[in-house]
Structure 1
Amino acid sequence: MDIRGVHTCWIILVLVGKSGWCNIAVNKPTYSSTDYDGKSSSSHAVDGNLDAVRSHSSCFTSSAASPWWMVDLQGNYRITGVTIQRRSDGYQYRLRDLAIVAFREDPQQNPSADIIPCTEKTGTLGAMDTLPCDQPIVARFVKIHYLPIFTEILTLCEVQISGDVCSRDTTKCFSTSVDIVNGMYLVVDSTDKRIVNDSTLSYCSNKCYREKNCYGFNYNLASKTCELALKTPTQIVSDAGFVYSVMPSCFLYCNGHSVNIC
């Protein structure tokens, strides 16, 4: 059964008792330990294809010493649970004793990124098991790996994640004020910044604060030009013509829930 055309809420989940459940992982970027045979890409686990026969190239499989799989949700979400579909053509006993963890930063780029536990599952998994997080978590990257007590080939035929998109909550922060640093400049790639002309410093600050992915901003004192930094800067350099500021982390607002991530 191939439902690749569905992008958010999967109607098919009504058939397995999850009516109203919304999948935020479908077709998102994925990463993993080594592919078992070149026919089991990590992307197969979020392609919307519920065919659980591994030979049909619909599953991810890795035989690495410590196999793992991870999805980038491409934004912070309030995550409530993960549904995992195992293979249906044998070796079902292999999928057991799993840990599900999450990160707000890419652990491949930042190995010291904080680990946010979702849950652990001891014992074997059912054909399609939903594993609720012990409590809702806010994160961008979700990773699945075996617990240390178990080493085996890892096969995931589909991974579905329930959650709500997050943005800054401008009404529930302790303060919306930002610290301005004079004579400095945030360096980001040209593709990762947005220019706002004929701006004021206060307008630039307000614009960045309400932009979901704005890390901070540069403000040119002479031209009154605002540069919104949409990713973490590669460096901060001296420049007498600029001031910069980094947005406070404060709260994220996730479908009615205000979450302090400081």
Structure 2
Amino acid sequence: MLLAWPWLLALGLLVGRGEAQSCTQAYGGPNLARGQPTMQASPVASSGPGSSGCAVNGVCNGNWNSASCTQTNLVNDPWWSVDLGKEYSISLVVVKNRQDCCGYRLQGATVYVGNYMGDFGSSSISCGTITNIEEGSLTTIPCNGAVGRYVTIAITDRVGYLTVCGVEVYGTCPLSRRC
């Protein structure tokens, strides 16, 4: 009976609202995005809370004051991108929503993989769209081996803010290259 408690606790943490979930997951490889260069459309800050690098700084609690969230100004087609440094075959992207307010800002955000910073057009591959906008939610988007150097999250065809509070990217070297 004592052996069942750790499993029940782990299950409870996984199915919770997101408060107990961290972005750090064990997906069989390193987070390719952590600490990499980032950029976003019309940032609200160049450093500290709201700056683009907050999404990959390893702080993933979803709270604005912890400098774990990026945010654009109110713009048409807001986007955020990370430069992985070289091409990878992307397996999945994990996106953390803001915990302390404004979860709706991720509604309809799509994850793209491509070879240009900020590209969410015809030269990039769309992996999927975020539909869970509950505050603190953690969304895993499969990219099924899409090859690219940049991962972009964008909301297209509307004016809005884009707020992201943690991004992890997992993948491997493409078969055509050595890493």
TM category, shorter: 0.7 to 0.9
Q: Distance in 1 between matches of 2:40 and 2:128?
A: 19
The alpha-carbon distance between structure 1 residues 70 and 15, as it changes in their structure 2 partners (threshold 3 A), is: closer
2:58 is equivalent to residue 51 of structure 1? no
Distance in 1 (alpha carbons) for counterparts of 2:52 and 2:117: 17
Question: Structure 1 144/55 Cα, relative in aligned 2: closer, same or farther at 3 Å?
Answer: same
Please, which runs of 5 or more residues in structure 1 have no aligned partner?
Answer: 1-13, 170-250, 255-262
**Match of 1:45, SS?**
helix
- What is the 5 A alignment of 1:33-48? 33-38=41-46, 39-48=49-58
User: Is 1:137–2:136 an aligned residue pair?
Assistant: no
Task: Choose which of 119, 137, 161 in structure 2 pairs with 1:127.
Answer: 137
Question: Cα 1:145–1:16, aligned 2, differ >3 Å: closer, same or farther?
Answer: closer
**What pairs up with 1:1-262 in 2 under 5 angstroms?**
18-22=25-29, 23-38=31-46, 39-65=49-75, 66-104=77-115, 106-107=116-117, 114-122=123-131, 124=133, 127-133=137-143, 135-148=144-157, 150-166=158-174, 251-252=176-177
Give per-residue Cα distances to partners, 1:96-154, cap 9 Å, x unaligned: 111111212x246x999822222223453661111112x32111011101142x54321
CA RMSD across the alignment: 2.9
Deviation at 1:40, TM superposition (A): 1.4
Q: How many residues align?
A: 154
| One-letter amino acid matched to 1:27 | G
SS at match of 1:100: strand
Q: CA 1:92–1:77 in 2, change beyond 3 Å: closer, same or farther?
A: same
How much has 1:84 moved relative to structure 2? Answer: 0.5
CA 1:111–1:94 in 2, change beyond 3 Å: closer, same or farther?
Answer: closer
CA contact (8 A) 2:59 2:66 kept: no
Query: What is the DSSP-based 3-state SS (H/G/I as helix, E as strand, rest coil) of the residue aligned with 2:53?
Result: helix
TM-score, reference length from structure 2: 0.73
CA distance in 1, matches of 2:24, 2:68: 22
Indicate the SS of the match to 1:43.
Answer: helix
Name stretches of at least 5 consecutive residues in structure 2 with no aligned partner: 1-20
CA distance in 1 between counterparts of 2:121 and 2:154 reads 18
Structure index of larger Rg: 1
- Return closer, same or farther for 1:28/1:113 CA change in 2, 3 Å cut-off: farther
